[in-house]
Amino acid sequence: MSFPQSIVKPLRPRGAQWHGPFEPGAAVSNAGYPAELWFNREHSLSVISAVEVASDKDGIERGPEYHISIARQTRSGPARCESTVAFWVLDQFGLDGSEEDNHVPHGAVRNFWRTVAEPMIGLECACKADEPAVVEDKGDFVWRP
């Protein structure tokens, strides 16, 4: 599977405890953006690191964004990790200044985004002002319909 050529590459983790990059599954591969799959056996984590161009509800693009998806791997399948673990992963991938934005009801994956353009880091997605937030895990996880 080959991805479109991009000047901006997916972020890679620091530390020897990470294994990868591997080719992500068909759902990610078919999305048409550069992505890599990484595993951390010590913490039972899988992480997809990608570069995407997302549009808001009005079709306005913010330009390329780094996207990190984090899931804990369990015997029964993917499970949501705690915020402390997610923040550690973000540090490992150098994704400071990112925002969490999830749109899967009761999802097992935590999704973090940060624009590539430094002047735009810290601007929140417009969806957060208009969409109701659903809070789970005593406030540790928020998703929007």
41/52 Cα distance (integer angstroms): 26
Domain regions of the chain by residue span: 18-143
Q: What is the DSSP letter of 84?
A: H
Distance of CA 56 to the CA centre of its chain: 17
Neighbouring residues of 58: CB distance < 8 A, sequence distance ≥ 6: 126
Looking only at the bridges linking them, the beta strands covering 110-115 and 35-40 are unpaired
b (16+ CB within 10 A) / e for 88-102: bbbebbebeebbbbb
Q: pLDDT tens digits for 74-84?
A: 999 999 999 99
Q: pLDDT tens digits for 15-72?
A: 899 999 998 876 676 567 889 999 999 999 999 999 988 766 666 666 789 999 999 9
By three-state DSSP, how is residue 58 classified? Answer: coil
By three-state DSSP, how is residue 135 classified? Answer: strand
pLDDT at 126 over 90: no
Exposed/middle/buried for residue 44 (C-beta within 10 Å: 0-12, 13-18, 19+): middle
pLDDT at 129 over 90: no
